[in-house]
Structure 1
């Protein structure tokens, strides 16, 4: 069989999920890091809505509400198995352990969404070297490990399993999705450490296209603008805000949002999740190395500056 014929057969395979006309993810086994945060939860729900067979809901905190997340998703999508999986997202050893667990349990890996973030201190004067290292470790390192280790697992084929929403995997493919911030495309969003680390996360995606050449695995970024993740500023100070994934939308008043955002409002976590679902599915089969900006048009109109 020639390479050309092999490619044609792959594209025409009824089980080759990325080319399903309905964009469904039947049989897919997915990993979502930061899954207990608002954006991560929305991504888990979206992948389940697409028919994924299994989603590993990952976070670094073992005390996060994994069971609650699984119950919520299973109530809506009973054929998708959600597995709460706490591990150190910036640990190379733990990442390899997770991949081994996935392959031993399911025999395949199809989607890896890196949805982690740490704002860090709001000014350069309050930023120390430890803060900078922490920002890079949280915002960029998980994406780097995904690029380094997930593709080999994604290239493994597998027969149809006996679990709900099962489908065989008869060709190597996969999708790595990196959730980062518009701070990765320009400055002025929160503070230097967050901006630097967001640029690094986007660098993983851009360098990943050549790394993944010939593997059948795609890598793309979602750069989010003002996303309302439900942070209540009345009960938190700068220190608490610095632990967040995105700058709280309530840092900008309604009038400011109307003036600086094309859609005149902050985004919602599910609006990021829907784009992740698109990048996981066959609807984006010819997209790799892209940056899909989910910011309501703010970056086009006027680069987003968050006052502190």
Structure 2
């Protein structure tokens, strides 16, 4: 039997799916033949072949309305990819409580709320469904300047394992390492600095967003039909010990 990643006929929601890593995820699902809906807080350039909804995933009522609209349009929801997230760099010691609340809300509480809403739909479907949480290597190492983000992603990995205990819907996480997006230069600095960072990665480069997407597609596909509660690293081999560079 040939191993094929064919998601034709499946309906996929990718939060934050119109830029950055989310764009790569959206493209990977489109390449696999899925019907893809993206969402963001505002109108975004529509990815060719995908649909877009305006929705603030921090608002449970807005999430419910969006999912109901998707089901009304397509009759089902097979896959949810919780990708929306992120955090600006700041000193945790001086950041305001409101700042920390917003970061934890976006990166942990919002995926929980969207997962609850999607799960309610998937439970009614004979085929169930699949949820893929886009997490980060920041969940499992010190994350200076993005402490609240790292803590939220650690919570997301824990949430993944807990949600996977419930029946019928598979739930997995992808712990993403350094990835090249349209914001790479703004985040990491000059080309020379980016190149220096890439030399520390065992595979010698940062990921491309679509590579993260392919991992998500695998986890959502029938090839991963007995994979649930897993945390899959997509980090090019991880971060080598400091003693190798001193």
Could you tell me the TM-score, scaled by structure 2's length?
0.89
Q: Which residue of 2 aligns with 1:65?
A: 45
Q: Which residue of 1 aligns with 2:237?
A: 297
Q: Would you say the 8 A contact 1:127–1:193 is kept in 2? A: no
Q: Would you say the 8 A contact 1:227–1:268 is kept in 2? A: yes
Q: 1:250 to 1:230 in 2, by over 3 A?
A: farther
The 5 Å alignment of 1:114-193 reads: 114-157=82-125, 171-188=126-143, 190-193=145-148
Structure 1 distance, partners of 2:164, 2:94, is: 36
Q: Would you say the 8 A contact 1:278–1:284 is kept in 2? A: yes
Structure 1 distance, partners of 2:91, 2:37, is: 35
Range with bigger deviation, 175-184 or 143-152: 143-152
Q: Is 2:180 aligned against 1:228?
A: yes
Q: Which residue of 2 aligns with 1:280?
A: 220
Q: 1:267 to 1:189 in 2, by over 3 A?
A: farther
Structure 2 distance, partners of 1:218, 1:251, is: 42
Work out which of the two has the higher radius of gyration on C-alpha atoms and give 1 or 2. 1
Structure 1 distance, partners of 2:84, 2:129, is: 20
Q: Which residue of 2 aligns with 1:205?
A: 160
SS at match of 2:135: strand
Structure 1 distance, partners of 2:146, 2:83, is: 19
SS at match of 1:134: helix
Q: Is 2:14 aligned against 1:32?
A: yes
Could you tell me the TM-score, scaled by structure 1's length?
0.72
Q: Which residue of 2 aligns with 1:217?
A: 169
Per-residue deviation at 1:189? 5.5
SS at match of 1:140: helix
Q: Which residue of 2 aligns with 1:48?
A: 30
Per-residue deviation at 1:152? 2.0
Q: Would you say the 8 A contact 2:80–2:115 is kept in 1? A: no
Structure 2 distance, partners of 1:156, 1:101, is: 16
Q: Would you say the 8 A contact 2:81–2:134 is kept in 1? A: yes
Q: Would you say the 8 A contact 1:154–1:173 is kept in 2? A: yes
Cα deviation per residue 1:155-182 (whole Å; 9 max; x = unaligned)?
A: 334xxxxxxxxxxxxx332110111211
Aligned length: 242
Q: CA RMSD in A?
A: 2.3
Structure 2 distance, partners of 1:110, 1:186, is: 32
